[in-house]
Amino acid sequence: MKKRLIALLIASTMVVSLAACGQDDNPGSPSSGSGEDVQQSQASTPESVPDSTPEGSAPETPEAPAEISGFGEAPMLADLVGAGSLPAVEDRLPVADDVYVEQTDATGAPLEIGTYGGVINLLGAGGSWGLSRPVMESIIHFNSDGTYYPNVIKSFEHNDDYTVWTFDLREGMKWSDGDDFNADDITFWYYMCHLTNYDTKKSWPALKETVDGEDAWATLEKVDDYTVTWTFVNPKFPADFIENGDFKWCWAPSHYLLDMIPDSIYVENPYWEKTGLDDEQVLLNAQAKGIDAATVNDLGKAIAYYWWNEDGIPCLNSYVLSTKEGNNSRDAQLCILERNPYFWKVDAQGQQLPYCDEIHFNATSEDGQDQLMFRSGELDIIGVLMQDISSLLSDLGDQAQLRTFAGTDWGSYQITFNYTCAEANYAELFANSKFRQAMSICVDREQVSGLLSEGFLEPGQCAPAEGNFGYDAEWETKWTEYDVDGAKALLEECGLVMGSDGFYDFADGTDFILTIYTYTDSGADAAYPVLEQYYNKAGIKCATKDIEVSAFDTEIDNNNWYAVLGPHTPIGGVSLKSRVQPFVPIAQSAEWYGEYGTYYGTNGAQGVAPEGDMAKLVEIYEKWNATPDTAERDQYTLELYDVHKENLWTIAYLKAAGNYNLVSSKIKNHPDLLVWDDLYQYQNLVHYWTLFKTE
């Protein structure tokens, strides 16, 4: 029986675990944009996601609830309107029928009507995506159970054979600087920024296909100011288009970026002519707008991909990077995002969102400083480690609330092996399932749970956690019973021979040393000495190599490794809908399949051709990718999972961990039991524009 596609997981005293079964009996089709109300996070969702709306269409934005007789706004914006420096709120929002009414959070719980004002204080933004995660507005938004609905676009639909997809936009929608947002901003992004590779991302599979053995890209057409179509030669099913995790946006502010587009990258298209600008001039134009870039390539990536890190670039997000000197950089001691006065969402009473005035990102310099700042009220939300939760909640009492993002990895402390290792004796050994079984049962998981998580994480295997799609209790406990003698017997069945030093050698007399790679700050380096003692007891001689993540990735890319603890791309995820690569060897992006992924990603020009069950994974994936039917895709996914269950190419020692936040009790509308995954853009699932703050 199919398990419900839902990702609220992790069974522990701190987290509620959910699981359910059911049939595809909902006539709506979130996969093609429908549902009970496509313009709000759904309060109830189907058991899995069917794909069958009439004629493949999606309903348009529903009218605002009857009780909304007018629109309200923040006092600070009302003052600007009164002073004549900002249009009235009705003129800043889309037409009434196209306004997005936010009524429920991503778990389906009703939102509390908020009050305006205040600042949400967070830790420093961190990497290139840090500023975008809480506020990014994308083509669709996901609920925490995997269903989704149109977001920036009003609706989407496809023709009968899935070769044409239509996006309908919101009439009257504005950029954050007040300029109209329309179809021209989509054709500009596609033909001037994306197909030119100016954004350095001309690789998104959602817009790409193979025609006559060559890469080809969708044809984008502007139907009218608020309608565009994407046309493909071959069917482009939902799993490979609208559900694709990389296809987060398809627009850019043409009115602001046009004078930063050089002729040197121009691609012929029916909508935009050459700008007549050389590389030097666009760099000067960018500099005049406060954007420094050494090369045109650097400029394109900054303004057309990581645009949220550049102040002044208009956006559609709820909050916009400040232009105040000293507060306008993600690296600043205090980085500020300010309310977007043209944001296109309102609450159930017609009040324009967001509620809070600003989001502040506060840089810290010392370990533990975040907890001190949270205690003093200088921070409103912080991440906490499992081992700190109980003591912090005890100390803080009703000043804080725990909020959990369930993880989707297939267990914690994963170890995987190089099945395409250049040294044949290692590759042959790793490919033997008895070796992997020995590596699993030689470890006392109960003790490891206590040593590495203070008992918080239970023993488990590399398998979907309870509540996840494909959960299987038998799989979760496979090869988890501690048995050192059994492990030794399995190693000897693999042909290893015990040496005089008490460690196993290869049958030809050469030393067998399992070199385990970890990367700095992954946490795996701390786990290694705990696991090493068990490996040694079973006769496995180990060595470790902890290196910076860039060097680590280079070693993986060069196939110069043996085993990895805490892989950079762990097995797991919501499902294939989230990211295919962790489950299937189709690109060089996950350690567990090594050069098999290179082979597929280069059409056989490089790498190692997968065989046996590795090849079977690819065969199942290609069937999954070739059907528009969600029920069939679910079944193919389960078949693929069965292959993983049989082989256990990666071993995990404990169940998956989540991500845990302490949230000030002054913050309202912050959901609990969300899901921490790239499909959901991590923090974005909180919907920061709906948070408000009380005194």
What are the tens digits of pLDDT across the range 449-497? 999 988 888 999 999 987 678 889 999 999 999 999 999 999 999 999 9
Query: How far from chain centre, in Å, is Cα 333?
Result: 27
654: β partners: 412, 459
- Selected from 3.40.50.720, 3.30.70.360, 3.40.718.10, 3.10.105.10, the CATH number assigned to the domain covering 412-654 reads 3.10.105.10
The helix (run of H) or strand (run of E) holding residue 659 is strand 659-664
Compute the 3-state secondary structure of the chain and give helix, strand, coil in percent, each to the nearest 5.
Answer: 30, 20, 50
Strands 692-693 vs 667-668: parallel, antiparallel or unpaired: antiparallel
The token pair at 518 is: 């970890």
The pLDDT assigned to 449 comes to 95
C-alpha–C-alpha distance, residues 29 and 46, integer Å: 9
The pLDDT assigned to 626 comes to 84
Q: Where in the chain is the domain with CATH 3.90.76.10?
A: 153-315
What does R_g of the chain's alpha carbons equal in angstroms? 26
| Sheet strands (E) in 640-687 | 650-654, 659-664, 667-668, 674-675
The pLDDT assigned to 59 comes to 38
Q: Where in the chain is the domain with CATH 3.10.105.10?
A: 412-654
Ranges under pLDDT 70 in the chain:
1-67, 245, 467
The token pair at 106 is: 């991503």
The pLDDT assigned to 249 comes to 96
The owner of tokens 């533990």 is 368
The pLDDT assigned to 575 comes to 82
In this structure, are residues 639 and 606 in contact, taking their beta carbons and an 8 Å threshold?
Answer: no
3 state DSSP class of 394: helix
The pLDDT assigned to 533 comes to 97
Largest pairwise CA distance in the chain: 88
What is the fold, at CATH topology level, of the domain defined by 153-315?
A: Dipeptide-binding Protein; domain 1 (3.90.76)
Query: How many C-beta neighbours within 10 Å does residue 469 have?
Result: 24
Query: How many C-beta neighbours within 10 Å does residue 383 have?
Result: 12
Query: How many C-beta neighbours within 10 Å does residue 155 have?
Result: 21
The pLDDT assigned to 147 comes to 84
The pLDDT assigned to 266 comes to 98
